[in-house]
Amino acid sequence: MFSGDVIQANAYCVTAKFINRLDNSCFFLSNIYGPSHASGKLAFITWLLNLDTTSFEDWLLVDDFNLYRSAEDRNRAGGDAGDMQMFNDLISDLELVDIPFSGRSFT
């Protein structure tokens, strides 16, 4: 039903373009994996903020950012408030919509 091609791949992301064979509509899917070490997080956020998606009419972003929106999202106490603020600013700047889990546990 769909055909697809990888159009971008790097250390953080693989993006594919999928075309619906029934009506030739298309969408883009990016699978993101952010660095878990503190030293790479700022470079990752900077890269994502500068990602050119102007040609992506319909875009899905699936991810493991290795960042938290709030301390309540962590499975243990603590967390870096600066990282949380940076992540929330990123979500706002990119106008991303967070689709919450419903009835499922996650780590």
Domains of the chain: 2-93 (3.60.10.10)
Mean pLDDT of the chain: 86
Confidence category of residue 105, pLDDT binned at 50, 70, 90 = low
Question: Does residue 107 have a pLDDT over 60?
Answer: no
- Beta pairing, strands 13-20 & 26-33: antiparallel
CA distance 75 to 90: 22
**Hey, what amino acid is at 106?**
F
E strand or H helix that includes residue 33: strand 26-33
pTM summary value = 0.74
Confidence category of residue 52, pLDDT binned at 50, 70, 90 = confident
pLDDT: which is higher, 29 or 38: 29
Interval 45-65 mean pLDDT: 86
